[in-house]
Structures are given as C-alpha cells and as structure tokens.
Structure 1
Amino acid sequence: MDSLVHQPGLPAWVREIDLAFPVTSQFIVAGNIRDIHLVRKSADSAAHVLTTSEVIVGLLIRRRYDLVYSYDPVDGIRLEYHGTEVDPESFFSSTHLGRATASTTGRLADLIRNARAPGAPRVAVVIAYASRLWAEEPHAGPDLRGLFAAAEKRANSNDGEDQLRNNPGRFDCGIFWLADEAQDAPQWLSRASGVRLVHIPLPSLGLRKSGAGLFLRRMDDPARTDAAAASAAETVLADLSQGMTLREIDSVVTLAIEQGIDITRIDEALRSYRLGVLESPWGDPLLLQRLKRGTDSIGRRVLGQPRAIQQALTVLTRSAMGLTGAHVGNASGRPQGILFFAGPTGVGKTELAKALAETLFGAEDAYIRFDMSEFSAEHSEARLIGAPPGYVGHSAGGELTNAVRDRPFSILLFDEIEKAHPRILDKFLQILEDGRLTDGSGETVYFSETVIVFTSNLGTYRSSSEAGASDNFARWGDPYRDTEAKVRRAIEVHFTEQLQRPELLSRIGDNIVVFDFISEAVARELVRKYLSAVIRRVQTRHGITLRILPDVSNTIEENAVENLAFGGRGVGSIVETLFVNPLTRALISAEKSAQALAASQLTRLESSWELRLTSSDDNQPFTSKHF
C-alpha cells in the first residue's frame, strides 16, 4: 500500500496518522478538530475542503478498511463506508450483560468486541465529541462502562502484536477519538501502549494563505480578476488572521460578500468579523483633518509640551493613513499606535492621552486608564486577563480583556508601567507584537484597533533622598536635550538591566515621548486656568459672580512658580491651598444675598492664608477668618 507520509498535499497530522497506522489501534485526535481542512491528492492538484471526520474516513478507505462507522451524540452511529458483502448490522447482534443492547454506546461496545472476531472484516469507527463521553465516566451506566472496557481492552491487548506478525500493516479494528483537548482523555486510555495522541494545530501562515486564495474565489468582484489585487488580498487575509481557523477565514469572506466589501478592503471584513462592527473611526475621512488641527487644539489643553504633542500626533497620523508597518511590506494586527509617555510628574501625560482619545474617537471616555501600581504583585495578573478555570472569579473575566472586548476602539493608558510586576509586563509582549491576548477562559481579545499608551516617571529627579545620584536624574531647569537623554537612558537601564526584558523595549521602539518640566510661563498660565475654573464653579453652584483682583492672582502666581518640580499638580495644590480653601471659609461668612463678590486681598497668616471678599452691593468685606 502506498504511504501518504511524503505527500505534501496532505496536512501534517494526516501524515502522522498514516505513519502510525501499522502499529497503532486507537488514536486520540485533539486540538483544532472543529476546523475544515484543505486536502490535495498531490501537490499540484486542486484542494478539497473537508471536515476532520471526513479526512479520517477518507484515510481509512485508502487503508482498505471494509466498514467505516462514525458516531456522535446527536446522530448516533452511521455507516460511512461499506466495502464488503458482510451485513453491517451483524456487528451489533450480540447481547450485553444478559440483555439485548439498545443504547448507541452499547452498540459501539458490540462493534469493537465483534470486530476482533476471527475472520471479521476490517472495521473502524470515528467517535466525535469524545470529551463529552469521557466527562460522563464517573456517572456511566452499564452500556457506557462496557464501551470504555472494550476500548481499554483493545488498547492494551496483544492481539495487535500477533496480528502484525501474521499480517504486517493490518489492524482489523481502528478507533479514532475526536477530543477538544488531549487532557480530556482518561489516563487508562491515554497511557495505553496501543494509543497515539495526534494534535491538530491551528493553520500555519501557508495554510491560511492557501485557504484565503480558495475562499476569495467566491467573491464576485471585478478586482479579483486583477492578479496583483487578488494576491495582495490573499496576503493581507493570511497575515491578519493569525490564530484563526480556516472555517473562520471562510466566514470572513462570506461576511465580505454579504456586506458588499470588495476584495481590496478584505481587512475591513476581518475587523468586522472579529469586533462585530462595520464602522471604524480609523476610516473616518474627517480623522485626518482633526489630526491636522490637533497641534493647536491639543496645545490649548496640554500646555508647554509642543514636542510631545507633535510626536504623538505623528504616530497616530501614520496609523490613520494606513502606513503603520508599511516599511516591512506586510499587514499587521498590532495596535494602531504605541506610545510611551515619560517625564516628570504633573506635566500633562495623562491629559494628553485624554485629548488624543477625544481627537481620535470623538469622546474623552474612549480613554481607559489602568494604574499599574495596583498590579505590582504576581497574582494580580488575574485581574487583567481573568482567573483561569476552577479559580474564584473565573466567570467575571479580566479588567483589561473585558474593557477591550466592550470598547475595541479606545486608548488604553497604563499609568506608571514601571511599577507593574515583570510577569504582567510579559503579557504586553503578545499585545504589542500580535495585537491579541487570550483571557483566562481561553477567548482571544484583539487590540488591533486600540492605541496603547504607557506612562512612566523613570529618570526624573523627585526627592531629596536621591540627591547623591542627582546627576543621573533630570531636574527642573535642565535643558530639554539633557532631560530627554537622562529619561531615555533611565528607561533603557530599567528594561534591559533591571527587568532584563529588552524585547519589550524593542517593541516600543522609537515611540518614547519625553515630556519637559513645565516653565514659569506655563505655571502662570495654569494658575489663570485653574482660577477661571473656580470662578465658573462658584457661579454655577452658588449663583455668585466672583472677580479676582490682580493683587490676589499675582500672589498666587508668585507662590506657584517657586517650586515647579511637581509640575501642574504642584501648581494645582498651590491654588487649592492659597485660594480655594480660604475662599471656602470666606463664602460661608458672606451674606447669602450677595450676587457679586471680589477677591481683593490675600494675606499669609502663621499656618494658613486669609482671603478678603468684598461685596459689590454694599462694599461689605467678608474674610476667611470670620469662619
């Protein structure tokens, strides 16, 4: 009999079964068993699309089995091939435990026992959904126990050895168990000498491309007749479908046909299939216009960081124009953008992420923040991706995977990434490289439409305890070039020497955006911005028109610029201490009938500040010390 081992037109797992046929009576076939498979009689012949069961049945027929049966819990036992004059029902005519066998599992037991009878035809059976049968073993009735006993005896008997000595290459009974996972098989079967485990993997890039080429032929699209366009579509679909089955790729093509998506936009059909949405903000024709205006609009919101804003917008504009990964010449399922915001605290890193979310997706709530200081323990990984089966909280899923599944178009901000446990950082390797992550329940979540933003304070001088190493840290007053160099060096040392994960740094690449310390001019502008916000709140909440005289605002500004090491947060703290707190006390002392007040004087006391409010109605002063 011709061996199939060296025929390249067959999947590798089929050739493995063919190789083991002469010495194996039972096979456990696990893994990607629900998929369809491309089978060719030769390397240059047309491909046939078959299910796993159909491939195995065809192989059994080629191996000259006389009777081939299949079984599943819904349809029961079916005769797939009849190549002998023997009555197929004759194998089910025995009695079991003193009574006629009626159940399908009992009939399977009869089939296995009778197939071993002297002079019997060669019989094989393909048992689908084997994992369900094995799961019922602790509660099995007599018929199911009889089936397992017959299979176990067959797996451990010496009949096969005697048979091979007398008739090499012929097992007269073959059993194929199709299981979801190899570990589902009971030990009495998986450890038997006459049983072989065969794993069906997800399709390789080559198989995905072959399948894409075959499935795309169904599209009635004029562009398909263009060889270059057709080849490009095959490549895109194959590249972007990593981790998918051929059945899913076929479904993508079906979706494209139903939605009228042409072959040159097959990536849109794939995105729609994965995410369940047809519209993409990345395809919005107005997006490029918003990004063009982003330098001005975001600059009014994030003060004093023109370099950071421009660098971030360049990365996102590249994605909006479809040029991400263009230099390597193939499609990618990676996130639309990767940004690493580094620099001092309180300089606008988080604010820029929010502004980018509003620019890209039209809403600030398209920004999702994760405080990575909460994920410093190794076990906190389960919070991000979900607990594995059998653990508490498994059904709840993970915070990260749930967020991306619910809102695939979003900016994901991982704040203070250096504080996360190294094992959690390993998860980002898969996200940044493949754009996908498997959660605790085994479901794949795709990050291909997200923007990943990391923030870090690495390299910034922040406390007096670090004074001895101040030369290695950026400080307020340093030129921007020095700040940038020190911050980049600190990031490199952290990932390569401390964490020993240079591969994560390489995936971030040159997308490190270093923020500068805020200047005195920016600090003064922030004071005015914060004071304006307070005026609006007083008007909205209390109906009082509040006016701040220059002496008061100047005092606040002078105090705010004394120490800018804490950036905008430090400025905000000064405004709260010098103005908001004494204003609160003064407002309580003011007459309820006052419609307009002026903050006319700010005085420093021993341990606090006093604010004098003057009513415009009767020139009556109200000070915070009246409280």
Structure 2
Amino acid sequence: MAIINALNRIKREAGIKKCLIVEGNVSDVYLVDKKLLGLKDCLRQCLEEIGYTNIVTWDRISGIQGDTRTLKLTDKKDVPEEGDSYDLGDVEIPDTVVIGQAREPGQMLAVIHRTLSEKNDNTAFILDWSEYLFNKDGQLDPQDREQLTMLGKTLKESLPRYRSDERGSAIILISTKASMLPLSLYSGNPEVNTVTITKPDMEERRDILRKVSPGFFLKDVDDIIDSPKFEDYVDMLNDFTGREIIQMANMSRQQKERITFEKLFALFKYGEKDNPWEKLSPDKVRRMKKELKEKVIGQDQAIDHVYETIVKAFMGITGIHKTSSRSMPKGVFFFVGPTGVGKTELSKAIASFLFGDENACIRFDMSEYSQQNSDQKLIGAPPGYVGFEEGGQLTNAIREKPFSVVLFDEIEKAAKPNPRILDIFLQILEDGRLTDNRGVTTYFSDTIIIFTSNLGAADVVNNGDREHVASEFVRIVKDYFDNELKRPEILGRIGYENIIPFNFIDDPSFATNILKSKLRPVQKAVEEKYGITLKIRNEQTFYEYILEGADIAKGGRDVLNALNSRLLTDLALYLFTNYEDLSRFRGCTVYAHVNEGKLEFDVDD
C-alpha cells in the first residue's frame, strides 16, 4: 500500500536523515488504521510511534503550531534583562502553547537553526507548503540565499553520531514537487532524502471505497460493497485520489434521482452523464460494418478489423490481459496506404458511428509538429514560457471531448524531424493518460486512437495482388520504426496486428461507388439550402462524365475534385443565372444530364 510504504520509510529515516522532503500526492486523505487522515496527522502519528515527543508544524498562514516550550524562539540577547516585575497571581500557564508565531519563512528557519544548535534531539519540524519557502522562479534573491544558507548550515554543521541509540531532530518538508525547492538543497546532500507519496494503489482504493460506501447514493444497489461489480468499480477508479473518491460519493447524494455508478463516474470524470459507449446496443454494433462500408468504399478488410476491435470494446474485453486495461484507449489503429483511399474518411465515419458526430474526430496534422520543441504544443508550454496558461492543444481537446476519435494524421511528417513527440504517444498508448504542463491529467480511456501514414505510397507497386501490396506496406512501416527511427517500442505498443494497410483504388466500380456516396450529401445540401430536389438523368453516362475528370490512381480524393469541378461549378452557375427565379424553383426537381459532352440542367415543375 502506497501510503503505508511511504510512512514506513519515514519511520526508518526520520532523524537518521536530518531532512526528508515528502512530495507527490501530499494533499490527499489517507486511510490509516481504519481512519481517514490528512498528511500532517499521518506524519504526526508515525513520528510519535518512533519516539518524538515534541512535534511542531508550520506553514505561512498558521505559523508555528505545537508545544513551543523547547524551541528557541529568540536569541538570548534579544530578551531584555531588565524591566518591571509583575505578580501573575493565580494565572495558570498552559503546558502547550499554540502561538502562531514566525509566519515568515526566515523567522521559522531561524527558530529551527537556533533550536537544533542546542542539540535538542526530541524535536521534529513539519513544514507544509514548503514550495513557497523560496522564490519559485529559480532566481533566488539575497534574502532567499540567506535563508537557504541558514537551512544548509542547520543540516550540515553537527557531526553524525555513530554510537547513539537516539534519533536526531528531524525536519520534514511537504511539497507537491521536490523540484520546486532549490536544487542545491537536496541534490548531492547526504542529509536530505526524498519520499514520494503516490496516488492510492488498487488495495488502497478498495479499502477507501469500502470505508466511504455508506456515502454513495446509487441506483440498483443500496451498498456498493454488495454490488457484483465492486471490483470493476475499484479498477475504474485507477488514478483517483482518496479525496476524489469521497467527492464522488458526495456528488451521488446531490443528484435528483439515483444513478448507476457508471453514470456517476462519467459525470464526475467528464461532466457528462451520458456515455456513448454505454448507449451502444448489440444491434447497432452488428450494423457497424454495413454502415461504414456505405461511407468508405473499397476498404472492406480495414473495416472488418475496426469492427472486431469495437466488438472487443463493447464486450469490455479490451486490454484485460494488461493490468492497466481500464485506462487504455478503446482501440488503436495505424492506417497506412496510398493517399486519398479513405484513411481519414474512415476515421470520421468511426467517430460519426460511435459518438453521433463527425466532429468527434479530432484531427492533428502532424506536419505542424515537425519543428523541434513543437511537441510542447500538445501538452502546453513549460512554466515561464509564452502560452503556459493556455494548456496543451491535445489535452485541452480531449478534456473537452473525452468521447472521441483522435487522429494523428501523417505521423511520419513529425516522427523523424521531432522524435520527442513519440514519447507523448508512448505515454498515451501505455497508460491511457497524459499530464499537461499544469499538472492536470487527461484520460484517453474512452477514445479511439488512429495514426495515419503514407509511408510506401511512392514505393509500393500496385501489381493487382492485394495480399502482396498489403504485406509490402506493413514491411515498410516496420522498417521505418525499427531501423530508421530506431523506436520499435512504438509499434510494440500499437500492436503489429493493428497496422492496417489500405487498398489502391484501381477498380472503376470502386470509383463509381465513391462518387455515388459523395453525391448524396450534395443532393441533401441543395435541398436544405434551396428547397430543390437534385436528380440525375442517365446515371451511368453522368458517372462516366464526372470520372473522366479524375485520376483514379490518386484515390478517392481526386473523385471529389472531379465532382467539384464537373458538377458543383456548373450547378452554381446554373442557379446564379436563374437567381431571380430561385423562389419559384423551391419544391421543384432539377435534373442534371450530359448532352454532347457537357452538363446541362432542366427544371421539372
């Protein structure tokens, strides 16, 4: 258990090391001896167990708290030797004085220095919010340097004793990050050690959930402990703090009606009650292949692979062979193939099918991240740099749309010139989460991650053998990551089986089917904007006319270009010519047909 291990280490080292920096998850609550405690109470309890009888706490707001009788609050020379004498009569002097003095860091460090100079071996100091002891910008002013020197002298001046059974005095600094303290304080200093408190592990989450279970107000179960899904709930709370688990319980009691734990989890984590993954029905999943194949023509094998992955996610089997299964993305794909064959189109179709909106496909053009340090745009600029407060483009986008398809388009354009960006991908693929520049964690556990690439598009020859072409694309991708980038671990996280090669669009029937699928949105848009029904006469002649303007070897994208130049341009000119009559056209049908190699339009009233 994380907190117990950390406290045991503090018990071993307090007083042996004169100063311990306790960092990490220091603002949480912890379950110790069946009681929920804050960190200072945990520290006080474990210090008492190892024999410290005088434990003093401090922060800049409360000042000194604790028994001050053994502390040297002032130098002797500061105490006046002469003055009037007063009879206190029957006034009782308390044994413990909580005085709230020494709120300034310099004052407190002076108290510690004077007290430890007297070799008081039974005092432990706990300094909270110690990241604010010194200037956080790294430029120490003269006062900071003086205070740092004072603390250094306190730690180093007394010689260690090797025959004493007693511990020395201890200083414990509590900070969210040790790196927020001056490096010279702890780097290479044998009197200082760092103890990191991590977020609750599975055992701690289980115990905390049991402890606070009466606080949950849920649908279908009176006590969460009795739920057959209890262990699943513990797994879902991976990376949650104890405070957040308690906050979830409190949130459940604020709802107008009871909701399931899954809905409560989505509401707390994402701010949304509705989880699109929960809305998926078996019937809808069964329709997936048919709907995707209507939108993306000629890539049946790729769609079949996507379907199998979505079925695994629907059945809750994704990644169960890994300990971090709950935090993993629902699916990861690497689409590779010629340009314009439907890689981006399939990504958008998946987003539309799963999340009801094509805009749920969040696209990152990787050519924008090819410059050195441009990877910082994904997670945000470091502290002190322009744009720090804005956060990261990737982390912000996923927090805004946690249920989405994340498309990293043409990854090779950034991978080689800026290989550090691959480290960000590794963290997403391995842990399912990413921490931005402000320390805020974003979760990718409800996303689909898609990488696309045109690697091999200029080298692979379309010889008509689809299996050979597909194997060549896969071979080129492996060679690129293994030998050129020397980062085989990227494909290791993605999975070789998830490298999905796309076919060349070389069959004229494919081009015709693509044209048909793209014509439907045009007809719908014309009807919505002008109230006109657009129909085609002699469809086969029309399709041949449009496709004469397309180079099929360039894929579906050139079919779109031909549709734009050979239909939309002429349609716009026709409507503009009849601009004054457009109101009369509403409710009518406009027929497009080919006549003597040109496109013409007729109105059927």
TM-score (norm 2): 0.79
Equivalent-residue separation in structure 2 for 1:186 and 1:328 (angstroms): 39
Aligned to 2:217: none
Cα distance change on mapping 1:209 and 1:552 into 2, 3 Å: same
**What does 1:449-488 correspond to in 2, within 5 Å?**
449-460=446-457, 462=458, 466=459, 473-475=460-462, 478-488=464-474
- CA deviation digits over 1:5-62, x for unaligned, max 9? xxx99834444444444544333333332234455xxxxxx55544332233234333
Q: Judge conservation of contact 2:379–2:394 (CA < 8 Å) in 1.
A: yes
SS in 1 for 2:173: strand
The one-letter code matched in structure 2 to 1:281 is P
- The one of 415, 419, 422 equivalent to 1:425 is 422
- CA deviation digits over 1:74-115, x for unaligned, max 9? 322211xx6xxxx82774365686899964447635643553
Percent of aligned positions that are identical: 30
Aligned to 2:51: 64
Q: Structure 1 residue 508 and structure 2 residue 494: aligned?
A: yes
Aligned to 2:542: 553
Aligned to 2:338: 344
Q: Judge conservation of contact 2:594–2:600 (CA < 8 Å) in 1.
A: yes
Cα distance change on mapping 1:577 and 1:444 into 2, 3 Å: same
Equivalent-residue separation in structure 1 for 2:389 and 2:576 (angstroms): 51
- The one of 555, 558, 564 equivalent to 1:567 is 555
Aligned to 2:91: none
Q: CA RMSD in A?
A: 4.1
- CA deviation digits over 1:509-550, x for unaligned, max 9? 223333333332232233445556556666666777766543
Equivalent-residue separation in structure 2 for 1:242 and 1:540 (angstroms): 47
The one-letter code matched in structure 1 to 2:407 is L
Q: Structure 1 residue 442 and structure 2 residue 431: aligned?
A: no
Q: Judge conservation of contact 1:129–1:179 (CA < 8 Å) in 2.
A: yes
Equivalent-residue separation in structure 1 for 2:188 and 2:430 (angstroms): 41
Cα distance change on mapping 1:97 and 1:195 into 2, 3 Å: farther
- The one of 275, 278, 283 equivalent to 2:278 is 283
Aligned to 1:521: 509
Equivalent-residue separation in structure 2 for 1:459 and 1:146 (angstroms): 62
Aligned to 1:410: 404
Q: Judge conservation of contact 2:591–2:604 (CA < 8 Å) in 1.
A: yes
Per-residue deviation, 1:405 = 0.5
Aligned to 2:84: none
Cα distance change on mapping 1:314 and 1:93 into 2, 3 Å: same
The one-letter code matched in structure 1 to 2:193 is L
Aligned to 2:286: 292
Per-residue deviation, 1:597 = 6.6
Equivalent-residue separation in structure 2 for 1:565 and 1:294 (angstroms): 28
Q: Judge conservation of contact 1:381–1:424 (CA < 8 Å) in 2.
A: yes
Q: Structure 1 residue 380 and structure 2 residue 349: aligned?
A: no
The one-letter code matched in structure 1 to 2:23 is A
How many equivalent pairs are there?
A: 566
Q: Judge conservation of contact 1:261–1:269 (CA < 8 Å) in 2.
A: no
- The one of 13, 29, 39 equivalent to 2:22 is 29
Per-residue deviation, 1:434 = 1.2
Per-residue deviation, 1:428 = 1.5
Aligned to 2:171: 175
The one-letter code matched in structure 2 to 1:61 is E
SS in 2 for 1:134: coil
Q: Structure 1 residue 494 and structure 2 residue 480: aligned?
A: yes
Aligned to 1:215: 209
The one-letter code matched in structure 2 to 1:303 is I
Unaligned runs of 5+ in 1: 1-7, 40-45, 467-472, 605-609, 618-627
Aligned to 1:54: 41
SS in 1 for 2:479: helix
Aligned to 1:353: 347
Q: Judge conservation of contact 2:28–2:241 (CA < 8 Å) in 1.
A: yes
- CA deviation digits over 1:330-385, x for unaligned, max 9? 74211122233333332333222222222212222222112222222332202212
Q: Judge conservation of contact 2:295–2:517 (CA < 8 Å) in 1.
A: no
**What does 1:238-277 correspond to in 2, within 5 Å?**
239-252=235-248, 269-277=264-272
Equivalent-residue separation in structure 1 for 2:142 and 2:604 (angstroms): 90
SS in 2 for 1:304: coil
SS in 1 for 2:367: helix
Cα distance change on mapping 1:131 and 1:363 into 2, 3 Å: same
Equivalent-residue separation in structure 2 for 1:418 and 1:445 (angstroms): 25
Per-residue deviation, 1:68 = 1.8
Equivalent-residue separation in structure 2 for 1:535 and 1:215 (angstroms): 55
Aligned to 1:42: none
Aligned to 1:157: 157
Cα distance change on mapping 1:397 and 1:363 into 2, 3 Å: same
Per-residue deviation, 1:147 = 6.6
Q: Judge conservation of contact 1:22–1:168 (CA < 8 Å) in 2.
A: no
Equivalent-residue separation in structure 2 for 1:150 and 1:535 (angstroms): 79
Per-residue deviation, 1:246 = 4.0
The one-letter code matched in structure 1 to 2:470 is E
Equivalent-residue separation in structure 1 for 2:412 and 2:370 (angstroms): 9
Aligned to 1:362: 356
The one-letter code matched in structure 1 to 2:395 is T
Deviating more after overlay: 376-385 vs 27-36: 27-36
The one-letter code matched in structure 2 to 1:311 is H
Equivalent-residue separation in structure 2 for 1:591 and 1:191 (angstroms): 77
Equivalent-residue separation in structure 2 for 1:373 and 1:545 (angstroms): 41
Q: Judge conservation of contact 1:530–1:572 (CA < 8 Å) in 2.
A: yes
Per-residue deviation, 1:557 = 5.2
Per-residue deviation, 1:598 = 5.8
Per-residue deviation, 1:487 = 2.5
Q: Judge conservation of contact 2:381–2:392 (CA < 8 Å) in 1.
A: yes
Cα distance change on mapping 1:534 and 1:408 into 2, 3 Å: closer
The one-letter code matched in structure 2 to 1:481 is E
Equivalent-residue separation in structure 2 for 1:380 and 1:297 (angstroms): 38
Cα distance change on mapping 1:212 and 1:598 into 2, 3 Å: closer
Equivalent-residue separation in structure 1 for 2:383 and 2:567 (angstroms): 54
Equivalent-residue separation in structure 2 for 1:70 and 1:379 (angstroms): 42
- The one of 63, 73, 81 equivalent to 1:92 is 73
Per-residue deviation, 1:589 = 6.1
Unaligned runs of 5+ in 2: 82-98, 215-220
Structure with more contact order per residue of length (Cα contacts < 8 Å, sep ≥ 6): 2
- The one of 362, 378, 385 equivalent to 1:391 is 385
Cα distance change on mapping 1:480 and 1:55 into 2, 3 Å: same
Equivalent-residue separation in structure 2 for 1:251 and 1:237 (angstroms): 15
TM-score (norm 1): 0.77
Equivalent-residue separation in structure 1 for 2:80 and 2:285 (angstroms): 79
Aligned to 1:576: 564
Equivalent-residue separation in structure 2 for 1:66 and 1:252 (angstroms): 38
Equivalent-residue separation in structure 2 for 1:401 and 1:367 (angstroms): 15
Aligned to 2:131: 131
